[in-house]
Structure 1
Amino acid sequence: MDAPIMRSLPQSLEAEQSVIGAMIIDKSAISKALEKLNEEDFYRDGHKAIFKAIREMFSKDMAVDLVTLLEYLKSTDNLDKAGGVTYISEVSSSVITTANLEAYIKIVEDKSTLRKLIKSATQIIEESYNKQDRVEDVIDIAQKKIFDLAEKQGSNEYESLANVLERGFLEIERLFNNKGSITGVGSGIRDLDAKTSGFQKGDMVLIAARPSMGKTTFSLNIAENAALREGKSVVIFSLEMSKEQLAYKLLCSEANVDMLKLRTGNLDDDDWERIARATGPLSKAKIYIDDTAGLSVMEMRSKCRKIKMEHGIDMILIDYLQLMSGSSGSESRQQEVSEISRSIKALAKEMECPVIALSQLSRAPEQRADHRPMLSDLRESGSIEQDADVVMFLYRDEYYNKETEEKNIGECIIAKQRNGPVGTVKMAWIGAHSKFANLELVYKE
């Protein structure tokens, strides 16, 4: 076996010196450097110490020049660590102009990224040796490390409270000036959006119901509204229905065409005209469908990372949770579902978008006089209720009671909402067109 080749890590001490020197002589250079770099991006320990000191001085609104910097380093017992008076003076005097600062910052940033890649690759090699019987875990670790690097390149992990508050006040001001607007991705159902303010980034939203209540239809209506009305990028993982079946449901909903007529080809001229009008916008919508059966969360996460890099992701739909597979190490199906649920919540946080997961309910609601689902119906499904930020149940009384006065009406029961009210929203149910809509559109017989 060949002996390993010893090579030095990627670095450019000259670029690091140029960045630090510019920060010492020009206050505007500090802002530019802090926007892109942190001390860990520097290869030389002395440069890390100098950069950290300048950042601390800048945050305390202290004047930064050679004299004040040396004094600050002395007061914090970091002068020797930073290289001493002579070295820091040389770095400061070596920079005459800050004209090429952005180019130097880019060099430092790129070398730092390469070092992180090498470190990640080394860790991946180590994991590959240590987890030879858990290949999926190793692949997931490898993908996450590379994805995180790509996501974080050029951005700081830390952010001051002042920046967060400033951004928050701007959002509050926007909402004040546009009363009634929502903060998340809208559902298209006004009364529902009024209660939730849309589906929020990082939230796991569970939509649960008994079969034939319209879970898939409702989720596709949400996707349709997000992509066509709001221009969002939506990823749909369909573990039950094929891509073609979902496409037909979307087409019927958007075109207001009877699904049975579409499936049998019994279409009239008006239907064809509606379909033609709907096909254009749907074909341009940023909706991406994956109908891989038995998909695991790990595989789903891998696909989402790729889509996010290429197209961006504003919402993820999963139809439905119980058809997913967990890790092979689960002792029971309940434990497996709990693991899947926790992983879906983690996916929402990682992708920074709402994840809407559909869930099939057990027969418990059938055994009650009132068949409306309750949170207790989820108890046997592991930790789903605890993991979800929002839990919604779908119910149509007409399915159970043919004589009901609530014909063509569906209910969305918000049973849990971590940051908002609970309650029931009534919607129009237009089953022939695969659609839930605002209540005023109820079709009277």
Structure 2
Amino acid sequence: MSITAPPNNPELERAVLSAVIRLNGRNLDSLLSILKSPDYFYSPVHQALWQTMMAMHRDQIPIDLVTLNDRLIKNGRSDACGGPVYLAGLLEDPQPVSHAESWARDLQGYARRRAMAAMGQQLIENAYSNDTDPSTFAAKAQEIVDSVLEDRIEVSAQKPSEIIHDYVSYLEGLEARGGDGIKTHLYKLNSITGGFLPGEIVILAGRPSNGKTALALNFSLYSIVKEVPVGIFSLEMMRYLLVNRFLASTHGINSMRFRDGKFSEKDWSNIYDFAQYFEGLDSSLRIWDRPSLSASELRSQCRRWKREFGLRLAVVDYIQLVRPDSKGGSREREVAEISRIMKETATECGITLLVLAQLNREVESRKNKIPLLSDLRESGAIEQDADQVIFIRPWNPKTIDDLVTVTLDVAKSRNSNTGSLETVYRRRRLQFLNDKEQDWNWLDFFPAEEGE
């Protein structure tokens, strides 16, 4: 069967337009929640009419044959839309206007199918092109699919009067929820930052072997306990190594046992206990452990996780291992592209991106060892796009001590304070603690933060 035109239904489009005119636009509020853009109509004439109706509704002008035709004339679109004769013909539709919302949902379905058809055609064309990178196009295809599924379209700017009531309701809910920030188990850090907010990029930077991954996983574990869905992009280590770190942190198993395999009977009891717990995290955790990840693939995966299980915190370990979508130019320019896409992802998905980064070696030679924002490797765009930057102040990883006092510096925070705090790193268990007296165990997984 040959297809001569994309999926569309002109009679249905006419029926919706007719219903609006016959009700003088009184049903537009409900219809605009479904047909938010002229693109939901296939006919260019109907697109122009819907766009004009949207503008008149926004300007609080009643919609009838006279006012609609007058607006079309002023915009120079009357002839293109068939003039008064075509508008008068719309009133002859015999269908009851009470069905308008049902018709609008049907038109929405036609628009989605047109978008899918266009996407399929684009997939076919790119599949035969040697100039298209498969992974980049796959990520772009996923973006198109997500857009179709979520009905994401451009919306017009809102007036203050249209915003304020929702804003007050938002603040009332914010008070009831105790804030929207994702808190950590380090209560001193929470007192400085107030937590990690949706739409934020939080950079966690340090030198190699100074505990970046361990601290990020501690944050992840605490978030999961607090019912915050987490996704982890582990670009440096395989999934088993990552799960080893979860096990060490939650059940106190010496991390050296994952090297020598000398597990005690108590260790095995803890391992089986952890396995039962970890198996139940399907609704709270996702792990990506492939060594190659492009910026667009990261965005696509975050969208998918947001849709699948309500992702709120995504951890990227680490930014210097993320590939740009297009190579060429300086590495700083490539990192700038990656950073930009990450910021767009955090804002669009309403999630926090906790992004690990390396510090330059120069910070170790500095007398006070206090990192600066310029110490971020390939730093320019990362420093600019980040909402918060937290440094792990360099310490000597060759020390034999199990408990190491580690300083965290909040060097940048757009919406809260900056400052420093001391933590205690229990290296064998890969745990960052509030103080030396604190202990984690499985029965009392995390102590409550001070001040809660």
Indicate how the Cα distance of structure 1 residues 130 and 418 shifts in structure 2: closer, same or farther if over 3 A, else same: farther
Residues in 2 aligned to 1:133 and 1:68: alpha-carbon distance in whole angstroms: 50
**Quick check: 1:251–1:282 contact (8 Å CA) kept in 2?**
no
2:363 aligned with 1:362:
no
**Quick check: 1:12–1:107 contact (8 Å CA) kept in 2?**
no
Residues in 2 aligned to 1:161 and 1:278: alpha-carbon distance in whole angstroms: 53
2:33 aligned with 1:24:
no
Indicate how the Cα distance of structure 1 residues 320 and 18 shifts in structure 2: closer, same or farther if over 3 A, else same: same
Letter in 2 for 1:237: F
Secondary structure of the corresponding residue to residue 426 of structure 1: strand
- Equivalent residue number for residue 147 of structure 1: 146
- Equivalent residue number for residue 419 of structure 2: 423
Task: Note the residue ranges of structure 1 that are not aligned, 5 or more in a row.
Answer: none
**Quick check: 1:251–1:279 contact (8 Å CA) kept in 2?**
no
Residues in 2 aligned to 1:366 and 1:223: alpha-carbon distance in whole angstroms: 28
Percent identity over the alignment?
Answer: 28
- Equivalent residue number for residue 287 of structure 2: 289
TM-score (norm 1): 0.83
Q: CA deviation at 1:16?
A: 0.8
2:433 aligned with 1:434:
no
Residues in 2 aligned to 1:14 and 1:335: alpha-carbon distance in whole angstroms: 51
- Equivalent residue number for residue 172 of structure 1: 171
- Equivalent residue number for residue 112 of structure 1: 111
Residues in 1 aligned to 2:266 and 2:121: alpha-carbon distance in whole angstroms: 64
Q: Deviations over 1:265-307 (max 9, x none)?
A: 22539x9479737943772351111211243334434444443
2:188 aligned with 1:198:
no
Q: CA deviation at 1:84?
A: 2.6
Q: CA deviation at 1:331?
A: 5.0
- Equivalent residue number for residue 384 of structure 1: 382
Q: CA deviation at 1:151?
A: 2.7
Residues in 1 aligned to 2:99 and 2:309: alpha-carbon distance in whole angstroms: 33
- Equivalent residue number for residue 411 of structure 1: 407
Letter in 2 for 1:195: I
Superposed CA RMSD in Å reads 3.5
Residues in 2 aligned to 1:334 and 1:65: alpha-carbon distance in whole angstroms: 57
Letter in 1 for 2:241: Q
Q: CA deviation at 1:360?
A: 2.3
Out of 226, 239, 243, the position equivalent to 1:243 is 239
Aligned pair count?
433
Aligned pairs for 1:244-263 (under 5 A) are 244-260=240-256
Residues in 1 aligned to 2:159 and 2:363: alpha-carbon distance in whole angstroms: 47
Secondary structure of the corresponding residue to residue 392 of structure 2: strand
Secondary structure of the corresponding residue to residue 62 of structure 1: coil
Residues in 2 aligned to 1:6 and 1:81: alpha-carbon distance in whole angstroms: 27
Task: Note the residue ranges of structure 2 that are not aligned, 5 or more in a row.
Answer: 440-452
- If asked which structure has higher relative contact order (CA below 8 Å, sep 6+), I would say 2
**Quick check: 2:295–2:325 contact (8 Å CA) kept in 1?**
no
Q: CA deviation at 1:6?
A: 6.4
Secondary structure of the corresponding residue to residue 113 of structure 2: helix
- Equivalent residue number for residue 442 of structure 2: none
TM-score (norm 2): 0.81
Q: CA deviation at 1:215?
A: 0.8
Indicate how the Cα distance of structure 1 residues 175 and 439 shifts in structure 2: closer, same or farther if over 3 A, else same: farther
Q: CA deviation at 1:355?
A: 1.6
Q: CA deviation at 1:441?
A: 5.1
Q: CA deviation at 1:96?
A: 4.7
**Quick check: 1:428–1:442 contact (8 Å CA) kept in 2?**
no
- Equivalent residue number for residue 316 of structure 2: 318
Residues in 2 aligned to 1:137 and 1:396: alpha-carbon distance in whole angstroms: 37
**Quick check: 2:358–2:376 contact (8 Å CA) kept in 1?**
no
Indicate how the Cα distance of structure 1 residues 280 and 137 shifts in structure 2: closer, same or farther if over 3 A, else same: closer
Secondary structure of the corresponding residue to residue 436 of structure 1: strand
Q: CA deviation at 1:105?
A: 0.8
Out of 209, 214, 220, the position equivalent to 1:223 is 220
Secondary structure of the corresponding residue to residue 9 of structure 1: coil
Q: CA deviation at 1:333?
A: 4.8
Most deviating of 294-303 and 243-252:
294-303
